[in-house]
Amino acid sequence: MNPFGGSNLEEKYERLKDYLSGLKSAAIAFSGGVDSTFLLFAAKEALGNRAIAITANSDLFPEREHKEALDFAKKYHMKQIVFDVDEFEIEGFANNPENRCYLCKKTIFSQIKKLAKENGALYVAEGSNMDDNGDYRPGMKAIAELEIKSPLRQVGLYKEEIRELSKKLGLPTWEKPSFACLASRFVYGEKITREKLQIVGKAEQFLLDLGFRQVRVRLHHNIARIETDSFELDRFLNKEMRELVNNRLKELGFQYISLDLQGYRTGSMNEVIIE
């Protein structure tokens, strides 16, 4: 039975599988997020056992994200290679310059390329999509320099299309909130430490446990700037909710707690960059 029912999305998905088939073998940089999960599934359909997943274990991603990546690969019987990475060993990373993402991606994907070669994969592919073209993303420069493939962009897939296809394919990530590494919560120039990463991670997990679906806790020195979906902003009108969140985040070490009235949006830390 055709899960798509005939559509432009079906055509894009078929083009994606054709593109992946043409690679002969590939290692997918797999974080467990919406895009990389969809890409890995498509690669498995197109390449069978010639597709492998490579996952970085890092302090920049909460344990829940890592566990979901492991569980998915196990459920779908996919070969997965996991390696540890310590971004604090990357020169300049902790100082959080505007090209921080470039420094990280260059290091991590260099290691992924090495592991891919050792395991017989001809290419490495990653899960950026067409929506990633419109923001300041220095990490994409590293992707290009290392000649990493970007199949979802190659066939013109957007985030919402990936979600729709994921739903039709029965993937558990189709409605999973978007997530980016915890370093993206720091205003540029704010020194990144393991302690601060843990604080931000705990603050976001607290909000998730309260039922907020899409959240970011951005760190501006001693200020927490909370972003959440616009339809969830009204929950903060409740006095008990405000007090609960305020007290917990202050316990974690923030001195001031603020709510961003624009709501959640990707790349909000890049809004201050003038190119």
What is the reported pLDDT for 268?
57
Please give the structure tokens belonging to residue 75: 């459920």
State the CB neighbour count (10 A cutoff) for residue 252: 15
Domains 8-168 and 182-272 belong to one CATH topology: no
CA pair distance 146, 27, nearest whole angstrom? 14
Residue 224's beta-bridge partner residues? 219, 257
Catalytically active residues are 181
Distance separating the N- and C-terminal Cα atoms of the chain: 50
pLDDT of residue 136: 66
| Residues lower than pLDDT 50 in the chain | 1, 5-6, 274-275
Domain locations in the chain as residue ranges = 8-168, 182-272
| CA dist., res. 112 & res. 82, Å (int) | 10
Q: What is the pLDDT of residue 274?
A: 45
CATH architecture of 8-168: 3-Layer(aba) Sandwich (3.40)
Amino acid occupying residue 174:
W
Instruction: Write the CB contacts of 57 (distance below 8 Å, at least 6 apart in sequence).
Output: 66, 82, 83, 84, 85
The CATH classification number of 182-272 equals 3.30.70.2210
pTM over 0.75: yes
Amino acid at 2: N
Interior CA angle at 86 toward 83 and 87, to 5°? 125
How is the beta sheet containing 215-220 ordered, strand by strand? Answer: 215-220, 223-228, 256-259
